[in-house]
Structure 1
């Protein structure tokens, strides 16, 4: 392999996954290298699904998988290198200034826009969370927001999928429910809560598993968010997918309007 590891972005001995920034020694170009140790047929299918999903997406939506190879149990995905940082590493506390607040609203709006673009080609991500959102900054200016890790995008439903806190209720409780854009809307709204507070909103199902045990509006009171943003998250985090914001395009529009209101001091 003519690639040299330049930086370890993450390496997890429990999940047996790693992601590196590597340099092609012949071309002098940088790439992302995802390494997954696989000894399970279902996981192998997920990896192959990710390769298919990435290469189905139009250019600019997500990094393309340029090469895929196997050595023993190690599976390697060579990806376009995206210069940027995971949202989870950038924002770990509430914004301290109006400028920081506007920057994070812009990140949220660009994320919703990117998700809307993905939905436009009839694909669901199904695992949106701060770790899977890459933010490209130039100084304090947000250049772009991209999604990574499309391992669930082409996969058949399992008993449970997604990541705790960020998965929509129907991804863990309702195996029979057909997934729609609203699962990604839910995950984006939890990611927005993380953006503005440093953590997702803790939501607990009631005894009947048909709604949240405590109204979302009450939980949001302690988050210190504006009334307008809280109202938007209430709609996006509804337990019932039929009552939730159904389209990422609508979420994108509402966030765009919030961002404009913020710049005029009416946020």
Structure 2
């Protein structure tokens, strides 16, 4: 167990600032506290559609102030290099939302922000974060989304490792993975490839409740890609969860399923399948495709669970399960029936 905790702590110390935009660079979406002195709207706000996510035609150049519609509480619930997340109370409905503030630091980051806004406008799925409006000031973009009161999946993983539990019960892991696959399947039907699926981008809707729904967030690295188009080539993602074909510079939507496989592996045994002291070592491990299920951490895990992970961590993307196939795997189906 000590080894698991040390691995996870090392994992935790490196998890921020690791969303790569190419092989040598990286970009992030969180940072220090920002005030909202003079904000203008760039997409339609929730004030006229309190319970509806942004429409795909919601872009507007109308002047409006975020503070006219929301009371933003100046205490960040999430913070990183590029921006912060704040709770905000809608002045009319008194409903609580989250405001994600993203700094306008570089042209590359602006491109990432625009991608996120574009895809959030389009998607509407119970396991994907809903956006209700986007504002802009001289320093940042501010995306208004539904509020998730729970923690990141990553924090749950660390919590279980630190408490001595080590990992998730299979039925709980299968439920979370099922919800995640449902979101991924939906995105892929829209020809959207997420490219940064990881525990940090999966939020629980309720606090201290492993059985609450999950929401997939952060579409800054997402891209639209159809199967009849040339393969994607940009090396993007977060080291631990990047598929080998991404590192080879030729990939498609199946890279998201590799990431789901890595997450399932971590949830079931408490440690990543491909570990290393730096990104290059992690990449080298990924390229071997070798991982072990013969360690004590896998004792007691069912054959169905192991088979599920193996079918996602296929080096050949053509042999990897699709999101639809993964949703029909016995491990997912049987555990879902047990919970129902």
Match of 1:184 in 2: 256
Shift of 1:54: 1.0
Higher strand share: 1
Counting matched residue pairs gives 253
Shift of 1:185: 0.6
Which residue of 111, 127, 139 maps to 1:73? Answer: 139
- Partner of 2:238, secondary structure, is coil
RMSD, aligned α-carbons:
3.2
CA deviations 1:35-94 (Å, max 9, x no partner) are 111221121011111111011113534233322222222221111223433211223236
| d(CA) in 2 for partners of 1:97, 1:199 | 9
Which residue of 227, 242, 254 maps to 1:167? Answer: 242
Shift of 1:134: 1.8
Which residue of 73, 85, 94 maps to 1:5? Answer: 73
Shift of 1:98: 11
Which residue of 265, 285, 288 maps to 1:193? Answer: 265
In the alignment, structure 1 segments of 5+ residues that lack a partner are: none
Which residue of 205, 218, 235 maps to 1:136? Answer: 205
In the alignment, structure 2 segments of 5+ residues that lack a partner are: 1-66, 226-231
Task: Give the 3 Å change call, closer, same or farther, for CA 261–19 of structure 1 in structure 2.
Answer: same
| d(CA) in 2 for partners of 1:190, 1:210 | 13
Task: Give the 3 Å change call, closer, same or farther, for CA 38–178 of structure 1 in structure 2.
Answer: same
| d(CA) in 1 for partners of 2:235, 2:137 | 29
Alignment of 1:84-233 (within 5 A): 84-92=150-158, 93=160, 96=165, 100-136=169-205, 142-154=211-223, 159-171=234-246, 173-175=247-249, 177-180=250-253, 182-202=254-274, 212-213=287-288, 215-216=290-291, 219-222=292-295, 223-224=297-298, 225-233=301-309
Shift of 1:243: 2.9
Shift of 1:241: 1.6
Which residue of 119, 130, 134 maps to 1:53? Answer: 119
User: Which one has a bigger Cα radius of gyration?
Assistant: 2
- Partner of 2:193, secondary structure, is coil
Whether the aligned pair in 2 keeps the contact of 1:23 and 1:31 (CA below 8 Å) is yes
Whether the aligned pair in 1 keeps the contact of 2:185 and 2:323 (CA below 8 Å) is yes
1:17 aligns with 2:92: no
Shift of 1:214: 5.9
Q: Structure 2 length normalisation: TM-score?
A: 0.64
Match of 1:236 in 2: 312
Alignment of 1:33-44 (within 5 A): 33-44=99-110
Match of 2:55 in 1: none
Shift of 1:119: 1.8
Whether the aligned pair in 2 keeps the contact of 1:34 and 1:76 (CA below 8 Å) is yes
- Partner of 2:205, secondary structure, is strand
